[in-house]
Amino acid sequence: MQTQTALLDLSLDELTQLMRDLGQPAYRARQVWEWIYRRYAGDFEQMTDLPQALRRTLAEKTTLRLLTPVAEMVSAGRDTLKVLFRLRDGQTIEAVLMLYDRRRTLCISSQAGCAMGCTFCATAQGGLARNLSAGEIVAQVLYFARYLADPASLPQTGVERPSTVTNIVLMGMGEPMHNYQNVWTALRRLTAAEGFGLGARAITLSTVGLAPMIDRMADEGLQIGLAVSLHAPNDDLRARLVPVNKAYPVDEVLAAVARYTAKTHRRVTFEYALMRGINDSAELAEELAQKIQHLLCHVNLIPLNPIPNSPYQPSSEADTERFVEILRSHGISATVRLRRGIEINAGCGQLRRALAA
């Protein structure tokens, strides 16, 4: 029912106005806000300190449910959980929860689909459907916060029972900097002390490299981590993998990163998906090292998740090792990302595609 106001899309001021319109005192807005962001209430019945009549009115005129889970998959190790959600207009998005020893990292989406067209990415194949609202971005986090807070709902794992979301990565579907406004409204809500209250440093935004937006992020004054999807050290190769490189070539992206680190003193992560025979040679590792060794950075080498109808395959272990070693020999910090949830299609828009097929 699109006619119901989405409370998660409202700021505290807007919620206060809504309460006023309902003839309620302003403090009711604070109460509801707390129920949503501090106590993770999923419906109005839980809000026991609100008058019954108000709960009914809210349930009639407004909604907290922007997402409906339509498919859930748990990895064999029971440490990765992926959920496909349907939005109110029928679009679908994915989010993935990863349980580590001490971290419970949530990977969320910023758009339904994506317009960037990276040739190795499953999300790109369907194009962009639309931007997510700030509320739809926040709703993904609240869904898993609720899930983790409920001991009965956890996949049984060997790790100590995680009870809350400790880290968020904007590495799901979509290009967060192509939906800048809504993403930053959501990030402020997630980090605000009177909102979800997660430390900004526990959040990482991953971008395809929209250079002007990297500059804009540097001015936000919030310590959100930045990851940049590089995947190749030169324009010829990168434009084949990441078409938006034609608009923002490698040197422009790296210059924006240099300005970003100068301003924020924060180390930037470069993501580099290793593809067999495409971007994994010793020469390219050398070229990459030359390009980035002056930067305050870390390189995260990602074993490629092969996707249907794509010629790209993951690099061999030996080539991956060689690539890491070359970067390290130049004093560059580099690691190979753990493969998580591959068998449940946890990577990159794959569950949505598999179910749509």
**343 secondary structure, DSSP code:** G
Residue 133 or 350 having the CB closest to ligand SAH:
350
Residue 29 or 108 having the CB closest to ligand SAH:
108
**Least distance to ligand SAH, CB of residue 196, Å:** 21
**Least distance to ligand SAH, CB of residue 285, Å:** 18
**Least distance to ligand SAH, CB of residue 116, Å:** 6
Residue 47 or 284 having the CB closest to ligand SAH:
284
Residue 163 or 335 having the CB closest to ligand SAH:
335
Biggest alpha carbon distance in the chain?
A: 69
The CB-based long-range contact list for 146-153 (8 Å cut-off, 24+ gap) reads 146/40, 146/42, 147/97, 148/97, 148/104, 149/40
Closest CA to 177 of 111, 92, 264, 269: 111
Q: What is d(CA 333, CA 19) in angstroms, rounded to the nearest whole number?
A: 52
Residue 264 or 345 having the CB closest to ligand SAH:
345
**Other CB atoms closer than 10 Å to residue 78's CB: what's the count?**
14
**Amino acid identity, residue 8?**
L
Residue 41 or 168 having the CB closest to ligand SAH:
168
**156 secondary structure, DSSP code:** P
Which residues in 156-177 are b (16+ Cβ under 10 Å) and which e?
A: ebeeeebeebbbbbbbbbbbbb
**Least distance to ligand SAH, CB of residue 206, Å:** 4
**What's the chain's Rg over C-alpha atoms?**
21
**Least distance to ligand SAH, CB of residue 19, Å:** 37
Residues marked active site are found at 94, 348
Tokens describing residue 166 = 């400790």
Q: What is d(CA 330, CA 317) in angstroms, rounded to the nearest whole number?
A: 20
Contact of 227 with 269, CB cutoff 8 Å: yes
Backbone angles phi, psi at 39, to 5 degrees: -115, 0
Enumerate residues 6+ apart whose C-beta is below 8 A from 283: none
What is the binding site for ligand SAH (CB under 6 A)? Answer: 116, 118, 120-121, 171, 175, 206-208, 229, 271, 273, 302, 304-305, 307, 347-348
**Least distance to ligand SAH, CB of residue 123, Å:** 7
Tokens describing residue 209 = 């490299």
